Amino acid sequence: MIADFFVGLEAFISATIRMAIPLALAGLGETYSEKSGILNIGLEGIMLCGAFFSFIVAFLTNSLAMGITAGILGGMIISSIHSFISIKYKADQTITGLALNFFVAGLTSYLFLLFFGKSTNLPECLMVPVINIPFLWKIPFFGPVLFQQDGYVYFTLFAVIITWILFYRTEWGVNLHAVGESPKAADSVGLNVIRIRYISAMVNGFFGGLAGSYLTLALLGFFMENITSGRGYIALVVVILGRRNPLGVLLASLLIGSANALQFQIQVKGLAVPSQVFIMFPYIITVVVLLFSIGKSHDPSSLGIPFTRSKR
Amino acid sequence: MKYLNNILSITIIILIIVLVTIGLISAIGSDVTKAITGFFWGIFGSFYGLSEVLVRATPLILAGLGVAIGFRTGFFNIGAEGQIYMGAIAATVIGLEFPNLPPFILIPLVILGGFLLGGFWAVIPGFLKARFGLSEIINTIMFNYIAINIVGILVRTSLKDPNYPLPMSPELPENMYLQQLLYPTRLHIGFIIALVASLLIYVLMWKMVAGFKMRAVGLNPRGSKCSGISVYKNILLASLISGGLAGVAGVSEIAGLHYRLLEGISPGFGYIAIIVALLGRNHPVGVVFAAIGIAALQVGSITMQVQSGVPTSISWIIMGLLVLLILARRTVSSVNSDQKEEATL
């Protein structure tokens, strides 16, 4: 009985981590971007593009490394378009992001049809292997949960720590905050606002593309139209809830990830209710979770506002 | 000089769009001439094609108007898709509850019901934004997913037609059908309703104090607050009307075309409505023309798919690209005027 419970709990926590990873990665990237003052609603498009290109390249080359690289590049391309239009042309960042989401949704389903036609069986690609951390994975309960995961999980933890150090313990982090809070002041002390914003946007594309590649290469093993199904938008919530702190972002993703995992666990019990009840559960949780950020969230002062150097 | 710049930039945009379209068509291995002929034939080749453009434009005008009002008031309503579904639910429930009411009572009743439920679905995010400053963008998107799943649940449970195994509602009573305009085309009174709605919205937003206040809040919330215009109330009002219009779009689709509640009644109309509002510069007249233009793009691309196998997702690529190019253009041409404005300030 107790053993059963632990097996169930183990499965639940593993599922939570799997569902949280894409949110954490994409949220981490968005944190860089928002700290520098660029609100990128196009995160959904970045992830979708990353998911598609990692899938297609992994499928064609049979190489995971190539697939992951392609996914990252795909994400960075979309992010660079967003940053170019919103920094260089000072366009509305929200609308640019939305337009990119439409664009990528159309483009990926177009390209998918181009490669595979209208076949009913989904083509499958390689999936990333589970890496057992020597010795540690044999620890009962904690071993399988923490030390028997794929490379993405370890990388995410690593990236969270590195990002935290970058943000709060380096001069670059101070500069990043300055650019987001007061670009004029940052500019007047000689920081290159535009360059820092471009770099942050590229980091966002990197992580967003990686998050997308996780969906196809680690979670599902195939690609379908609109595979992200709103995860990019949920990642934006994770950023707000995590108060743009890398550790907070990780915790917030685990919270929403657990809602997803719970949904799967209940769904397999085979209750006599339509599956839609469970499918909408994570979206409801996202709204509820957003309610808890009331009054606690502090946006960077220049979030969403283009920077014009000569402007007084 | 500015005039010339405008013409030049529009020409460049059209050129890019045409080149990308040709590139995409040839990439999939279709004959470009045949595909483009098919595209235009689909729109202008028959009376039915032309009427189909207006059929498609109907929900886009209604939902696009809603999104435009939201934008004007500073409420980014990305949730028209969900509000369309909520309007459709309201119409279905009212129609099935009161099948014997005469049309002149039942039709206004379902439209009102659709407006209120669609509006309700937008007022929640509107309230959360106005009261607590929560992002309406994220909330409206989450509400889309929730609404679509609610429809999925309803057509499998309490609203399911017991006579069919498929997930859909029973056929709605004839008393609530929107009259067809030009038999045998599918064009129905919904199109007229959409045109009347755009006229009403024009009067509301540009000829009445209420509309002036809403636009003031959109332009400068802080300034409005200082002049005694309540930002809170106006955002609530704008979100109600915004979602309400999308709800009416849902009613029109149900009562004018499908006559049942189904899961796929809106193939992304709510999202396309955002593009319609942007292209129409958030003005009722612009919205009507933009909706007809986008509807033509879609109808044409459907024929193009049938005749030469070019996937309809090409229309999403074109729409997204068009908005991106226009965003870049608007700011390019406004850079000069911005500097002038600053000089005078």
Radius of gyration of chain B (CA): 21
Instruction: Please compute the mean of the pLDDT values over residues B221-248 and round it to a whole number.
Output: 94
- Please tell me which of the candidates A94, A102, A273 has its beta carbon nearest to residue B320: A102
- Residue with token string 């990873």: A21
Q: Please say if the pLDDT value at position B345 is more than 60.
A: no
pLDDT of residue A143: 72
pLDDT in tens, B253-292: 999 999 999 988 998 899 999 999 988 999 999 999 999 9
Q: Is the pLDDT of residue A176 over 90?
A: yes
User: What pLDDT, on a 0 to 100 scale, did the predictor assign at position B308?
Assistant: 84
Contact A101 B128 (CB under 8 A): no
| Confidence at residue B4, expressed as pLDDT on a 0 to 100 scale | 82
Q: Which domain holds residue A229?
A: 12-117+132-291
Q: Residue A168 CB: number of other CB atoms within 10 A?
A: 12
Beta bridge partners, A149, equal: A131
Q: Is residue B343 predicted with pLDDT exceeding 50?
A: no
Which residues are paired to A131 by β-bridges? Answer: A149
Whether B273 has its CB under 8 Å from any CB of chain A: the answer is: no
Helix (H) or strand (E) holding A105: helix A93-116
Residue A125 inside a domain? The answer is no
ipTM of the assembly? 0.86
Between CA A94 and CA B247 the distance in angstroms is: 24
Residue A38 inside a domain? The answer is: yes
pLDDT surpassing 50 at residue B142: yes
Contact B64, B290 (CB under 8 A): yes
In a domain, A7, yes or no: no
Interface of B with A in 153-182 (CB under 8 A): 153, 156-157
The pLDDT of residue B85 is 97
Q: Name which of A276, A286, A303 to mutate to probe chain B: the one with the most chain B Cβ atoms within 10 A of its Cβ.
A: A276
Domain count, chain A: 1
| Residue A81 belongs to some domain of the structure | yes
B132:A280 CB<8 A: no
Kindly state the average pLDDT of the residues A119-143: 77
Residue range A234-283, pLDDT digits in tens = 999 899 888 899 999 999 999 999 988 888 888 777 777 888 888 888 88
User: Would the CB atoms of A81 and B28 count as touching at under 8 Å?
Assistant: no
The region that residue B166 occupies, defined by phi over 0 for left and psi between -120 and 50 for alpha, beta otherwise, is beta
Q: Which residues, in sequence order, are bridge partners of residue B180?
A: B188
CA A106 centroid distance within chain: 20
**Given a cut of 50, is residue A138 above it in pLDDT?**
yes
pTM for the model stands at 0.89
List all residues 6 or more positions away from B26 whose beta carbon is below 8 Å from its beta carbon: B32
Mean pLDDT taken over chain B: 90
CA-based nearest residue to B251, from B187, B342, B177 = B177
Classified as helix, coil or strand, A130 is strand
In this structure, are residues A228 and A211 in contact, taking their beta carbons and an 8 Å threshold? no
Looking at residue B336, its pLDDT comes to: 45
**Terminal CA-CA length for chain A:** 70
pLDDT grade, residue B69 (50/70/90)? very high
Residue of B247, B145, B157 whose CA lies nearest to A284: B145
Mean of the per-residue pLDDT values for chain A?
Answer: 89
Q: Taking the CA of residue A287 as centre, how many other CA atoms within 13 Å lie in the half-sphere pointing to its CB? A: 18
Q: What residues contact residue B37 under an 8 Å CB cut-off, 6+ apart?
A: none
Show the DSSP H helices in A220-299 as ranges: 231-241, 246-267, 276-279, 281-291
Checking if the pLDDT of B79 tops 90, the result is: yes
- What pLDDT is attached to residue A269? 76
Q: Which residue has the higher pLDDT, A143 or B147?
A: B147
Burial annotation A212-250 (CB, 10 A radius, 16+ → b, else e): bbbbbbbbbbbbeeebbbbbbbbbbbbbbbbebbbebbb
Closest-CA residue of B relative to A311 is: B342
How far apart CA B74 and CA B236 sit, in angstroms, is: 11
Cβ neighbours of residue A198 closer than 8 Å, sequence gap 6 or more: A83, A87
Cβ distance of B324 and A274 shorter than 8 Å: no
The whole-number average pLDDT for the span A206-212 is: 97
Residues B294 and B228: their CA atoms lie apart, in Å, by 40
| Cβ neighbours for B252, distance < 8 A, ≥ 6 positions apart | B58, B59, B62, B178, B188, B190, B193, B194
Contact A85 B324 (CB under 8 A): yes
Closest CA to B144 of B163, B164, B121, B161: B121
A134 — pLDDT class (breaks 50, 70, 90): confident
Q: State how far the Cα of A303 lies from the Cα of A306, in Å rounded to an integer.
A: 8
Burial of B147 (C-beta count, 10 Å sphere; 0-12/13-18/19+): buried
- Contact status, residue B69 vs residue B214, Cβ threshold 8 Å: yes
Q: A116 to chain B: nearest residue by CA?
A: B28
Bond into B162 cis (ω within 30): no
The answer to the question of residue A180 being in a domain is yes
Residue A232 forms part of a structural domain: yes
Model confidence band, residue A292 (pLDDT cutoffs 50, 70, 90):
confident
**pLDDT value at residue A1:** 65
Q: What secondary structure does DSSP assign to B26-41, as a single string?
A: HHTT--HHHHHHHHHH
- On whether residue A297 sits in a domain, the answer given is no
- B32 CB neighbour count, 10 Å cutoff: 15
Query: Looking at the domain assignment, is residue A242 inside a domain?
Result: yes
For the stretch B194-229, pLDDT in tens is: 999 999 999 999 999 999 999 999 999 999 999 999
- pLDDT confidence tier of residue A129, bands split at 50, 70 and 90: confident
Specify the pairing of strand A148-150 against strand A130-132. antiparallel
Intra-chain end-to-end CA distance of chain B, in Å: 23
A91/B150 CB distance under 8 A: no
Rg from Cα positions in chain A:
20
Question: Which residue ranges form the domains of chain B, and what is each CATH number?
Answer: 48-333 (1.10.3470)
How much is the average pLDDT of B12-22?
91
Residue B241 tokens, joined: 């009307």
pLDDT tens for A14-66 read 889 999 999 999 999 999 999 999 999 999 999 999 999 999 999 999 999 99
Mean local confidence (pLDDT), B305-328: 88
B236 min Cα distance to partner chain A (Å) = 18
Q: What is the tens place of the pLDDT at every residue in A148-166? A: 788 899 999 999 999 999 9
Q: Ramachandran region of residue A298, left (φ > 0), alpha (ψ -120 to 50) or beta?
A: beta
Residue range B129-134: mean pLDDT, rounded = 90
Nearest to B198 by CA among B69, B278, B293, B284: B284
Specify the CATH number for the domain of residue A202.
1.10.3470
Give the model's pLDDT for residue A273: 80
Mean pLDDT: which of A142-146, A227-231, B212-216 is highest?
B212-216
Cα(A16)–Cα(A13) distance, rounded to whole angstroms?
Answer: 5
Q: What is the pLDDT of residue B6?
A: 80
Strand ranges inside A113-170, DSSP E: 130-132, 148-150
Per-residue pLDDT tens digits for B292-302: 999 999 999 99
